[in-house]
A and B are shown apart, each in its own frame.
Chain A
Amino acid sequence: MKGSRKRAITPWVFLGPYLILTAVFFVYPFINSIWLAFHQTNGPRSAVFVGLSNFRFVLSDPDFYTAVKNTSIYAVVSVMIQLPLSLGLAMLLNSGKSRVRNLFRLILFSPHLVGQIFVGILFSVIFTPRYGLFNRGLQELVGWGLEERWLANPSLVMPALIIVSMWLYVGFNMIYFLAALQSVDKNLLDAAHVDGASPMQTFRHVIIPQIKAVAIFVVVMSTIGSYQLFELPYALLGGFGPNNSGLTIVGYLYSTAFETGDLGTGAAIGWLLAFVIFIISTIQIKLAKVE
């Protein structure tokens, strides 16, 4: 009896810490965020039920659509430019000698170790008009750009963000692709070579199918990561940029919830963001399966 009781309790003792932490830090905030989305609050003492008012306001707010537009542009460019670059670099490294490969892998991956806040601050100096490294470099190379205000001109903010994010993430995504390329079956590559397949045909019909699972993972994770973008533009622009040109959905959430103090509307934005990410990820996964 004593032994069987002990056996029954033992798993709960081990699971207990995990369950408590999950309940406190995931389940409770999750449920509370649903409650919050339908209320206006001013601290725990003051809460007023407002029904769908928070959602209605967000969906009629031009700033929300600015944030969605900015975030979507960033996400699309991330996938369309960063990932091919990452794959290209991975293929270059995969064909090199292992010692060189390891060195370049470290070099290309290292920007990601620095963190978004540091990178944001670093590039805010690099993009300084007249004195910044980037502007000086542009002026020397193409005779233009010395006085360009990358972080103060609304039409240049997004290109600046994309340049910084490429520096930050191309190497990171490359690691995934490199790992996938290294697991491609050598026999299949040899067979393709023996059958006279061109490099492009080998890439299209042998390599792509073999790395497809990883590629889908990287695309979905990059998209989700892009839709959660916040720290980089916030640190780079010291806010959300001129005309909200660097405002992302999470930035809009932060501004509403923590700068204006409207936690209820912030929670509503969070749920809308979750919905957007869910829809886009589902479409991406379905499209990948259809192919």
Chain B
Amino acid sequence: MKLFIFAWHPTPRMQGNTSAVKADNQKNNTMNYPYGKAAFFILLMALVTGTAHFAVSFRRQVEKPDLVMAIFAPNHEEAYRAVLGEFEEQHGVKVQLQLVSQRALQSRLQSALLTGADVPDLVELLEGTIGFFARGPLEDVGFVDLTDRLHAEGIYDRMVPSRFSLWSSRGRIFALPNDVHPVTLAYRRDLIEELGIDVDQIETWDDFVAMGRSVVQDLTGDGNFDRYALDTPLGGIAVIRILLLQRGGQLFDEQGGVAFDTELTADTIAWYVRQTTGPDRIGYDAGWGQSLAKAMNDGLVLFYFCPDWRTKQFEMDVPNLKGKLGLMPLPAWEPGGRRTSTWGGTGLAITKASERQELAWELAKFLYLNEEELSARFRATNIISPLKDSWSAPVLDEERAFYGGQAIGRLLADLAPQTPPTYISPYSNLAQNKLAEVYLGAVAYYNRHGEAGLKEHIRKELTAQADYVRRVIDRNVFLQTDEGGAQ
């Protein structure tokens, strides 16, 4: 305390008078801190923060759970928390759930895996991210290779095989798929009925476009269309990918080679450009969040690409449209063709650094393969599990008031087996960006020249961008080492 009081007053030392300091020291025995008040406060702060840090670390150590699981989806957290108690009781362990935003989760996990810092035992990953973590040699992937377990325990055969492609690299599977995410079209049931449209008659995209052209209108006479047929979100690339997958196209092949410079991709982009550009367009980007909700409420757009996860999002974001929405399968590209695609995905990976990998695997199976739990989760999230046994659950036949009494679970489950695989590469994001560049270039071309030469222009751009992605991939010496040549 005396030291503290001393520190508030300038001393002779601070004034540069050393002889006076000695005299002052002799006079005042309490003045035993010789470096002045600034240094004293620095020391004090260091002591306080050091003690606080020690206390917090000690507390954390005391509370250390047996398993830590990191997730990014709040509705998953809610669903898992509801059942974790049962798992903890069964195994006599403590499980900690950590909810982290997706972007933060990926960057933190990336840094932690690269530097060998602490990582969770289990992590839920977003579609595409496994490619990032698998950009080096297979033995450097920070997640446990689940391939042999999945086959040995018969789990692989119980799930939709196409969903493992999202979590695979060079033939090895690194996560358990959580979902199928079959894509449908959600539509404003009330407005469609008012317009006298029978969605059962829309079987192909040609049918849809014909219907779409009849509904796009400037209702107020201000020169802007006030009603569009189809929502084309996220600058178009999300939809192009959905459509491409529906047609059997891919950005990458199963071995990780670039596969988007094809006639099928060129044709899909050209089709999409025609629907989103020029006076005959039927598509409108209604955006996301609030602007999407407003567009839906206003009836600005009538049909929306809608995977299973989005059906729940609509229930939460536009509750006042209860009873006014419906779901229909995607129109096919040719009569009798595939009526769905896929959009998004989550998978559960076990980190190699986990000291309790077997327990983590048990938790993964408990959360992803427990049919009773999956029924409850479907009710909470509308997400269809890739576990085929779960599709016979009565919950899928429940009629949903929000969708005008439609049994959306049954529709989604019926479409689930048709979902196409999505092959992933460390360069998926790059390829997607390059595909977006091709699309935007095609839009500019179409605005200038119309239909003449559009396909040739797209083909040329696709070739150039695919070659660019190949060049980037070829630089990855780790993939070359692994395979004896870049993929």
- The chain A residues found within 8 Å of chain B, CB to CB, are 10, 14, 40, 42-46, 48, 50, 53, 57, 62, 125, 128-132, 146-147, 149, 152, 154, 240, 242-244, 258-262
The reply on B75 being an interface residue by CB < 8 A is no
**What are the 7 closest A-B residue pairs judged by CB atoms, nearest first?**
A42-B136, A43-B114, A128-B291, A243-B440, A48-B477, A261-B135, A42-B478
- Interfacial chain B residues near A44, Cβ < 8 Å: 114-116
Contact with A along B421-434 (1 / 0, CB 8 A): 00000110110010
Residue contact B477 to A50, C-beta cutoff 8 Å: yes
Residue contact A244 to B433, C-beta cutoff 8 Å: yes
Distance from A231 Cβ to chain B, minimum over Cβ atoms (Å): 13
Residue contact A260 to B115, C-beta cutoff 8 Å: no
Contact with A along B274-286 (1 / 0, CB 8 A): 0000000000010
Q: Can you list 29 A-B pairs, Cβ within 8 angstroms, ordered by A?
A: A10-B35, A40-B475, A40-B477, A42-B135, A42-B136, A43-B113, A44-B116, A46-B136, A46-B140, A50-B477, A57-B475, A125-B290, A128-B287, A128-B291, A129-B285, A129-B287, A129-B291, A130-B295, A130-B300, A131-B290, A131-B294, A146-B224, A152-B285, A242-B440, A258-B107, A260-B132, A260-B426, A260-B427, A260-B430
A132–B476 Cα distance when bound, in Å, is 43
Residue contact A14 to B39, C-beta cutoff 8 Å: yes
The reply on B85 being an interface residue by CB < 8 A is no
A243–B445 Cα distance when bound, in Å, is 14
Residue contact A43 to B430, C-beta cutoff 8 Å: no
- Interfacial chain A residues near B137, Cβ < 8 Å: 42, 46
Count how many pairs of residues, one from A and one from B, have CB atoms less than 8 Å apart in the complex: 80
Residue contact B440 to A42, C-beta cutoff 8 Å: no
- The chain B residues found within 8 Å of chain A, CB to CB, are 35, 39, 107, 110, 113-116, 132, 135-137, 140, 224, 235, 285, 287, 290-291, 294-295, 300, 426-427, 429-430, 433, 436-437, 440-441, 468, 472, 475-478
- Interfacial chain A residues near B110, Cβ < 8 Å: 258, 261
Distance from B148 Cβ to chain A, minimum over Cβ atoms (Å): 24
Residue contact A53 to B287, C-beta cutoff 8 Å: no
A258–B114 Cα distance when bound, in Å, is 12
- Interfacial chain B residues near A43, Cβ < 8 Å: 113-115, 136, 140
A45–B107 Cα distance when bound, in Å, is 19
The residue from A10, A42, A240 contacting B140, defined by CB atoms under 8 A apart: A42
- Interfacial chain A residues near B224, Cβ < 8 Å: 130, 146-147
